[in-house]
Structure 1
Amino acid sequence: MNTSTALSVRDPWSLVPSLGNLDAYISAVNRLPMLTPQEEGSLARRLRDHGDIEAAGRLVLSHLRLVVSISRQYLGYGLPQGDLIQEGNVGLMKAVKRFDPEQGVRLVSYAMHWIKAEIHEYILRNWRMVKVATTKAQRKLFFNLRSMKQALKQGQGDAADADSYRSTLTPSEVARMAGELNVKPEEVVEMETRLSGGDVALDPPADDGDEAYTPIAYLADDRGEPTRALEARHRDWLAGDGIGQALEVLDARSRRIVEERWLKVNDDGSGGMTLHELAAEYGVSAERIRQIEVAAMKKMRKALETVEAL
């Protein structure tokens, strides 16, 4: 079964079973053929230029196995792999929507960031709930801790503390609860700490204004975001090899004018020669030097566009 046959159906998702049967789903996506670089580029351009939904579906389908592979890295958090895959698929679709085939990287490299970002967000949303009670003994502790704590406080005649769930348990109270519920004392302390702590919103409420500061502000790190990384790499290329190649298309005079006006930096931080200084050297007017400079810059831009299009 070749790629064109396997992925040319109008509804490509019909090739993949529901996530309700995880084994069948993983088996199916692992059988889907990968796209060649040429096929990937063609489909990405169809999506970008014409909004071709079938092309988007084929791009997504051919990378579902990547989501399955990445999801396995997060099984230790106690979340169902099916849910992790589902969230990762959302990230994959976002990557396909934003993918630019002209950037010179394959979709598999670009999509990894978006897949992991969605899975991370899902884990952050569910981590507190999952960690509260993961075993039968911990669930028993979860459901009995509040009432036992209040009973202990009331038995000590401390009515005020009975209404204050946030007060800390003493070592003797921790030991007593652990013995009655057949759990470790440290599990009692951990559960008490988790239940007495409030949830913290990752994003600020909509009406908090610009001064709101929540964990998302320091959890987010866009330095690894693929688009920014590609832009940075492109800027580095322009500042180095790109400028060098563009200068090669100029004649000697035009090249020296551009270098003096735009690229030269002296030890004292000053730039190169002025228009009038160059005019005096070449025996022409300052306006003529400016015209040569403008023409040279246009020629360089055209040369760079030609190189980038290759």
Structure 2
Amino acid sequence: MTQSMALPIPVPTAVGSLEAYIQTVNRFPVLTQEEEIRLARKFRDEGDLEAARQLVLSHLRVVVAIVRGYLGYGLPQADLIQEGNIGLMKAVKRFDPDRGVRLVSFAVHWIRAEIHEFILRNWRLVKVATTKAQRKLFFNLRSLKQDLGPMNRAEVQDVARRLGVKPAEVVEMETRLSGQDVALEASPDEPDEGVQPPIAYLTDGSEEPAALLEAREVEQLRHEGLQKALSTLDERSRRIIEARWLREKDPATLHELAAELKVSAERVRQIEQKAMEKMRRVISATASA
């Protein structure tokens, strides 16, 4: 082992800015192949957690590099890094040092898999990506498109064939990924050619008394169900749900809550998941009562 790896390596924490975290993980020394094999064997054969810790820390920079390719989906970079770190830990647990493959090559698959799952769970536009082929389409369509414009029929057929999906699914996914807002009113600079803008024919029935009453009743039921569901949670779970999902602006990240509650970000994610499942059951029971 080199002298740098013989020294204790501090674990990066959620305290401080994301930039500070990235700078910290980039300072961790890169393991040589011999060091990597020795540590991996110690973890596999002896259950040495310190060896596993050094393997993880030396590859955190890989997660940061991979996450940069997923910043266009509107999700917090810190959360993407956290999910990628979970994939890295899974890779370290399953890594076989005797196969002659470097850990970084083996870990890329697990890191990307966790990030993909996180994006699909949280990106509101992705409702079609429910099969393995459709997920492959979602994450590869941008790179397969020849330019930024809409695809023609031949390009749609080619992408569908290469990814094993239906042409209609390619068209739908492209629409979801590249959809733009439609102006309700015509621009003053546009010539009037007898084409009505959407504002001219879209009706709004929300002001009708019956519709207003129904909307108010539905909103009251939702509010009561939400408050009842929150009341069933313990204080820590309620704090996580309120900070992550009920803030109108700047929802908290897993790392921020981990620092506040003095637990790991993975523990925060586990508590959040269990709390959400419990709340869904309560809200469902309230709505059907």
User: Taking structure 1 as the reference length, what is the TM-score of the superposition?
Assistant: 0.41
Greater CA radius of gyration, 1 or 2? 1
